[in-house]
């Protein structure tokens, strides 16, 4: 069976790379953590990997808005080849490969225009900005998946509890036309929800006030997935604040955390391809 090669990109304030890499290792991937400068300087090629991952953190301190400086570096800094890293990412996606962004990584994917990219122009169509609460949110949330979604990351997942850790997680859509295209194409694939699984704008169930109660987006191809909650922070049942109850309720399901399912899904999908 194919060994999936997973690239986890770090540097300049990204700080969740070790947890993300640990999740991939647990589901059998060959994973490497790489500083983005190694890619920009031509030491590492993204094309040697099956999936690129942008972890959470505070790239460049979010000084110009979450992930904005890193976004500009990816889109406009020229590499030795004369291409930008963004040019290489477009080629990477053209080869049918995958990209995953969590929290700051999701903010990056949105601001580069890779998500949701409903027009196919790689233009910024949405943003992730300051939470309605006006402060950093660090809490566990219920999330539900759209019954029709295009991303293999969420296969066979209906409900999932995950922690959020962000100050700028509120999704705002550029205009009504873009919003309609997101909904019509089921790109709003992960939502904050209540105990019954219903998408909600109610705080604190929705920790930031996102439009469409959005906790995650995919692109029309399903190759790119970004989410604000942290699945890499729930790779063991013991990560959950109510782990004794979970073990009691699911005594035959082992000790894996539900967040691990997302990593397992994409690794198995790439293997099967």
Task: For 221-253, write each residue's pLDDT tens digit.
Answer: 999 999 999 999 999 999 999 999 888 887 667
The whole-number pLDDT of residue 266 equals 98
What are the CB-based long-range contacts (under 8 Å, 24+) for 69-74?
69/12, 70/12, 70/36, 70/108, 71/108, 71/111, 71/112, 73/36, 73/40, 74/36, 74/108, 74/112
Residue closest to 168 by CA, chosen among 136, 126, 211, 202 = 136
Paired tokens of 70:
């890193």
Radius of gyration of the chain (CA): 17
pLDDT band at 25 (very low <50, low <70, confident <90, very high): very high
Task: Read off the pLDDT of residues 153-211 as tens digits, 9 standing for 90 and up.
Answer: 999 999 999 999 999 999 999 999 999 999 999 999 999 999 999 999 999 999 999 99
pLDDT band at 2 (very low <50, low <70, confident <90, very high): confident
Fold that domain 5-272 belongs to in CATH: Rossmann fold (3.40.50)
* Cβ atoms within 10 Å, residue 103: 29
Determine whether 103 is an active site residue: yes
Residues 27 and 263 sit within 8 Å (Cβ to Cβ): yes
Question: Which among 142, 166, 230, 240 is annotated as catalytic?
Answer: 230
Question: Which among 142, 193, 232, 240 is annotated as catalytic?
Answer: 232
The whole-number pLDDT of residue 200 equals 97
Paired tokens of 41:
């300087």
Task: Read off the pLDDT of residues 111-154 as tens digits, 9 standing for 90 and up.
Answer: 999 999 999 999 999 999 999 999 999 999 999 999 888 899 99
Mean pLDDT of 267-271: 98
The whole-number pLDDT of residue 252 equals 66
The whole-number pLDDT of residue 180 equals 97
The whole-number pLDDT of residue 144 equals 97
| All structural domains of the chain with their residue ranges | 5-272
Determine whether 230 is an active site residue: yes
Q: Answer whether 0.75 is exceeded by the pTM.
A: yes
φ, ψ of residue 136 in degrees (nearest 5) = -65, 135
Question: Which among 16, 103, 143, 214 is annotated as catalytic?
Answer: 103
The whole-number pLDDT of residue 186 equals 95
The whole-number pLDDT of residue 24 equals 98
Residue 13, phi-psi category: left (phi > 0), alpha (psi -120 to 50), beta (remainder): left
Distance of CA 103 to the CA centre of its chain: 6
CA distances from 107 to 56, 134, 217, 225, 248 (A): 9, 18, 11, 11, 36
User: What is the 8-class DSSP label of residue 154?
Assistant: G
Round to whole Å and give the CA distance between 271 and 15: 28
Task: Read off the pLDDT of residues 50-94 as tens digits, 9 standing for 90 and up.
Answer: 999 999 999 999 888 899 999 999 999 999 999 999 999 999 999
Determine whether 88 is an active site residue: no
């Amino acid at each position: 069976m194919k060994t999936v090669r997973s690239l986890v990109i770090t540097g300049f304030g990204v700080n969740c790379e070790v947890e993300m890499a640990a999740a991939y290792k647990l589901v059998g991937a060959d994973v490497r953590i790489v500083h983005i400068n190694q890619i920009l300087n031509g030491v590492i090629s993204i094309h040697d990997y099956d999936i690129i991952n942008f972890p959470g953190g505070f790239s460049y301190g979010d000084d110009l808005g979450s992930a904005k400086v890193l976004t500009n570096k990816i889109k406009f800094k020229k590499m030795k080849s004369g291409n930008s890293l963004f040019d290489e990412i477009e080629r990477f996606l053209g080869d049918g490969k995958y990209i995953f962004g969590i929290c700051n990584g999701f903010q990056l994917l949105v601001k580069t225009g890779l998500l949701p990219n409903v027009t196919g122009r790689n233009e910024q169509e949405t943003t992730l900005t300051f939470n309605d609460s006006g402060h950093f949110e660090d809490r566990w949330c219920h999330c539900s998946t759209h019954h029709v979604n295009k991303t293999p990351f969420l296969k066979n997942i209906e409900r999932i509890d995950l922690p959020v850790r962000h100050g700028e997680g509120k999704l705002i859509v550029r205009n009504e036309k873009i919003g309609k295209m997101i909904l019509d194409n089921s790109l709003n694939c992960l939502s904050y929800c209540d105990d019954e699984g219903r998408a909600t704008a109610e705080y604190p169930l929705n920790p930031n006030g996102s439009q469409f109660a959005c906790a995650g987006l995919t692109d029309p191809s399903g190759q790119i997935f970004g989410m604000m909650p942290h699945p890499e922070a729930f790779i063991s049942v013991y990560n959950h604040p109510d782990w004794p109850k979970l073990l009691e309720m699911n005594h035959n399901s082992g000790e894996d955390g539900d967040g691990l399912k997302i990593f397992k899904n994409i690794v198995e999908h790439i293997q099967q391809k």
